Structure 1
Amino acid sequence: MTMTAINLASLLCSRLCHDLLSPVSAMNNGIELLADEHDPEMRARCIDLLSESAKVSASKLKFFRLAFGQGGGFSESVDTEEIREAIAGLFGFDHRIQLGWMVDDPVMEKQAVRILLNLSLIASDALVRGGNLDIGAEGNEIVIRAEGRRLVFDEQIEATLLGKTPQDQLTPRLVAAWLIYTLIKERNGDLQIVRPEPNVLLFGINLM
């Protein structure tokens, strides 16, 4: 079975819904609590919960718009400050992950942006107890380094990044890795995955 546009859209939508379920559910809970609560202090807490959940939802949508959709409109490039803000917003509210940004170019072409964002998503997911996520890009090269007290990098995700997962075995959890592999392949590029230390994960990408 080969991947069709419908299969891909279905997997991406499933991943998007999974990631948005938590903040949207929190908003729903906050509205229900607010409707039944009359204590001013508790109502203020409910409003804070709603505000934070709305910010998280908006940040996730902005990230996925760039990572999966037609971010940046129909232009072939994206402002790198917009990319940085999207990544920072994905996990910036609880300060669990600290972002290091080493990208000097003012813009990046859209295909490289999708690769960078989806790989950042995978790297941040591996930092299950938080840590540092450092991102660098120059020309056709992208480097992402994740370091934390505990790193969990799924073997299936690694296999999918390297093109070793059959398309009929893809799941929403693996779709970002498959998208990265496909985009790199289209550019005749290569991806290197290195674990120099138990708590460090490195990705290196070279695009032709």
Structure 2
Amino acid sequence: MTDQSIQLASLIASRLCHDLLSPVGGMTNGIELLQDETDPAMREQCIDLLAQGARRTATRLRYFRLAFGAAGGFDDLLPVAEIKELVLAQAAEGRDIKVEWVANAEGFSKPAAKILLNFALMGIEALPRGGTLSVAVEQRGGEYEIAIRAEGMRIAFGEDVGKALDGTIPTEELSAHTVPAGLCRMIAQQTGGGIQHAKTEGALVLGAVLPNG
């Protein structure tokens, strides 16, 4: 394993820990309150808190399992419905984010699924005040064309994330925040595809073209 591979794995692990800390912390608080609470109504609220934290944790683990991990079984293609479900669930954790989904594909190759999920993650994070996340996928000939547009009152997209997508930041200088963008760039390079991005005052567009296979 190279130093770059170790660095990338460490950053992904840091990102996972960061994003799972909030829902797991919520469950911890719920358990602590439940242990000391005797009022039935308050105990019911504690149980609701635990259930909410468990759902959020499970959703994020499923999402990250495909976005960062080697999941997907032995099938050549991942179901479109499964990827859509994960994006909708992740967006539901944001602040008033509406998802528009158009996918003309029989299924997603693992590289295409990872690019789409990481793009969607960046798009959701770019909408701290809510907005619309538009996902479009076209499978034609031997290629996947993926486009994600995040549109809202405020677009949060740091210059460092753009540089990670462009490849102007070396792997050793990536952070837990920029590692999804760096991973997208690496996948595109390894598969012979390409990615691009553009930001305006009210929108962020992320695009990728990947070989089918």
Report the TM-score when normalising by structure 1: 0.94
Instruction: Report what 1:73 is aligned to.
Output: 73
Q: 1:43, 1:25 → 2: CA distance?
A: 18
Is 1:202 aligned to residue 208 of structure 2?
Answer: no
**Structure 1 residue runs of 4 or more that deviate by more than 6 Å after TM superposition:** none
Instruction: Report what 1:164 is aligned to.
Output: 168
Identity of matched residues, %: 43
SS in structure 1 at match of 2:146: strand
Is 1:135 aligned to residue 139 of structure 2?
Answer: no
Q: 1:32, 1:191 → 2: CA distance?
A: 46
Query: Which segments of 5 or more consecutive residues in structure 1 lack a partner in the other structure?
Result: none
Q: 2:38, 2:78 → 1: CA distance?
A: 47
Aligned length: 206
* Matched ranges for 1:44-193 at <5 A: 44-93=44-93, 96-139=96-139, 140-193=144-197
* Matched ranges for 1:16-55 at <5 A: 16-55=16-55
Q: 1:170, 1:95 → 2: CA distance?
A: 27
SS in structure 2 at match of 1:107: coil
Q: 1:36, 1:47 → 2: CA distance?
A: 13
Q: 1:19, 1:126 → 2: CA distance?
A: 16
Letter of the aligned partner of 1:202 in structure 2? V
SS in structure 2 at match of 1:207: strand
Letter of the aligned partner of 1:59 in structure 2? T
Q: Determine if contact 1:81/1:106 at 8 Å carries over to the other structure.
A: no
Task: Between 96-105 and 118-127, report the one with greater CA deviation.
Answer: 96-105
Q: Determine if contact 1:20/1:60 at 8 Å carries over to the other structure.
A: yes
Cα deviation, residue 167, structure 1: 2.0
